[in-house]
């Protein structure tokens, strides 16, 4: 199916030159949706994270709309970005990416504006879920799932509930060597930045120097920098307190009820995974229908019940059974609380400052 789409493009390129194709692309991205478009003649290629959607999503959507969907996977945001940016026509219509990469795509003009009239399910979202720093007013993106970062801990090995990022940065003696922090660059900085009251997106050299001091001291008390196996480390008791994404902590709590989640009072981040439509898509009507479909309460409740992630879908969140929230404490943060957290934005070339500090902190061992 991707082949049939590239063929006309090649034909035009051969006859009229590349400039015409580029002009044609930008013109089509601004064009309004055709309300009479026959969806059954369109096909979609979507890229998202593996196991991040209902297994029958493609079938269900085809049954409902007649549009055939091929779902591709990217393991990381970086891989997803590479997939939609490195080649001119990848044939991808819809991409699911986190807020930072989405802002990059918007700046680069690679995504096309959403027609809200074709997305009635946007009404399901929390009102706060339309004011994201990376895309205010949801001009280009529709939020799929969201969440925050906190402390995942062993409730039987830690006295009381952790309340502060200091609990992992300057741990009590009995927890020294039993702490893990996230290995992802910006999230490694988050606890120190919030403890010091700085922005998660600071590029101020003095502030970053303070953060480095806190991180260097904290890293000596760490078991490991880990963003994949901390759940196992907590279950084994090798770690007692871990900096963790809320959804991941829920997954750990699912297999071990002694594991719980706490959100430090200094605040944290808000991450958002959103869907965008690529400017190069020739199937914009079907792409809108697909995004509207994943914003339905059915898909959103599936995400929360099966992946244990919060979603910005207020209607879905209020329909979920209350015992789910009792078991998975990280699901209790409501939309307003989550939306009040700071969003991590792409820093462009300044991210090198973070990388240098992270390298120094880790190599200092």
Partner 1 sequence: MSSSAAAGATRARRSGLLTLISPAGYLGLFVAVPLLLVLVSAFLTRGRVGGVRLPISVDSFVLLAEPVYLGILLTSLATSLTVTLVCVVVAYAFVAAMRGMSPRGRAGLLVVLMVPFWTSFLIRAYAWMLLLGEHGPVNAPLLSLGVIEQPLTLLYTPASVTVVLVYVYLPMMILPIAAAAESVDPTLRDAARNLGAGAWRRFRTIDLPLTLPGCLTGCVLVLVPSMSNFVVPDLIGGGKTVLIGNVIQDEFLVSRNWPFGSVLALTLIALLVGVLVVQAAVSRRFEGHAR
Among the listed residues 59, 78, 156, 305, the single contact to partner 1 using CB under 8 A: 78
Site mask for partner 1 (CB under 8 A), range 341-360, x = bound: -------xx-xx-xxx-xxx
Which secondary structure element, helix H or strand E, spans residue 191, and what is its range? helix 185-195
Please report, for residues 28, 214, 223, 362, the alpha-carbon distance to residue 192 in angstroms, rounded to integers and kept in the order given: 46, 6, 17, 15
Applying CB under 8 A, does 173 fall inside the site for partner 1?
no
Smallest distance, Å, CB 203 to partner 1? 14
Bridge partners, 276 (sequence order): 95, 141
Instruction: Report phi then psi at 278, rounded to 5.
Output: -70, 140
Q: d(Cα 330, Cα 238) in Å, to the nearest integer?
A: 22
135 binds partner 1, rule: CB under 8 A: no
What is the spatial distance between Cα 178 and Cα 100, in angstroms, rounded to a whole number? Answer: 31
The nearest distance, CB 79 to partner 1, in angstroms, is 8
- Minimum CB–partner distance for residue 279 and partner 1 (Å): 14
Q: How far is the CB of 314 from partner 1 (least distance, A)?
A: 33
Binding to partner 1, residues 100-119 (CB under 8 A): 101, 104-105, 107-108
340: contact with partner 1 by CB under 8 A: no
Which of 64, 237, 306, 336 is in the footprint of partner 1 by CB under 8 A? 237
* 104 close to 239: Cβ distance less than 8 angstroms: no
The residue (of 223 and 272) whose beta carbon lies closer to partner 1 is 223
| Residue 365 in tokens | 């061992």
Do 69 and 40 meet the contact criterion of CB atoms below 8 Å apart? no
Q: Which of 68, 177, 210, 324 lies at the binding interface for partner 1 (CB under 8 A)?
A: 177
Give the footprint of partner 1 on residues 80-99 (CB under 8 A): 81-82, 85-86
Closest among 11, 6, 67, 76 to 39, alpha carbons compared? 67
Question: Do the Cβ atoms of 210 and 204 come closer than 8 Å?
Answer: no
Closest distance of CB 348 from partner 1, Å: 7
> 173 in helix, strand or coil?
helix
Q: Is 365 in the site for partner 1 (CB under 8 A)?
A: yes
Chain contacts with partner 1 (rule: CB under 8 A): 76, 78, 81-82, 85-86, 101, 104-105, 107-108, 177, 183-185, 219, 222-226, 229, 236-238, 348-349, 351-352, 354-356, 358-360, 362-363, 365
């Amino acid at each position: 199916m991707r082949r049939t789409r590239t063929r006309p493009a090649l034909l035009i390129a051969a006859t009229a030159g590349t400039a015409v194709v580029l002009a044609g692309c930008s013109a089509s991205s601004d064009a309004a949706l055709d309300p009479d478009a026959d969806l059954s003649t369109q096909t979609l290629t979507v890229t998202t994270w593996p196991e991040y959607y209902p297994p029958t999503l493609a079938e269900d959507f085809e049954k409902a709309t007649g549009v055939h969907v091929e779902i591709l996977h990217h393991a990381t945001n970086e891989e997803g970005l590479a997939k939609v940016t490195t080649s001119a026509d990848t044939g991808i219509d819809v991409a699911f990416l986190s807020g930072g990469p989405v802002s990059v795509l918007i700046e680069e003009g690679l995504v096309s504006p959403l027609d809200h009239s074709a997305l009635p399910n946007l009404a399901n979202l929390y009102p706060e879920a339309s004011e994201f720093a990376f895309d205010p007013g949801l001009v280009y993106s529709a939020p799929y799932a969201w969440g925050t970062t906190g402390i995942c801990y062993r409730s039987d090995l830690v006295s009381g509930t952790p309340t502060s990022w200091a609990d992992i940065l300057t741990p009590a003696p009995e927890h020294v060597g039993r702490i893990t922090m996230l290995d992802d660059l910006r999230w490694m900085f988050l606890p120190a930045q919030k403890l010091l009251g700085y922005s998660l997106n600071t590029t101020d050299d003095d502030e970053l120097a303070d953060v480095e001091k806190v991180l260097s001291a904290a890293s000596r008390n760490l078991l490991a920098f880990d963003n994949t196996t901390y759940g196992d480390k907590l279950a084994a008791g090798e770690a007692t307190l871990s900096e963790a994404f809320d959804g991941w902590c829920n997954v750990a709590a699912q297999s071990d009820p002694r594991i719980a989640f706490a959100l430090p009072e200094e605040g944290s981040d808000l991450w958002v995974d959103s869907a965008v439509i690529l400017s190069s898509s020739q199937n914009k009507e079907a792409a809108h229908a697909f995004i509207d479909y994943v914003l339905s309460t059915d898909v959103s409740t599936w995400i929360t019940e099966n992946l244990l992630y919060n979603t910005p879908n207020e209607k879905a969140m209020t329909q979920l059974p209350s015992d789910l929230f009792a078991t998975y404490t990280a699901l209790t943060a409501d939309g307003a609380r989550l939306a009040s957290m700071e969003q991590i934005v792409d820093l462009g070339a300044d991210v090198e400052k973070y990388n240098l500090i992270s390298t120094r902190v880790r190599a200092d061992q």
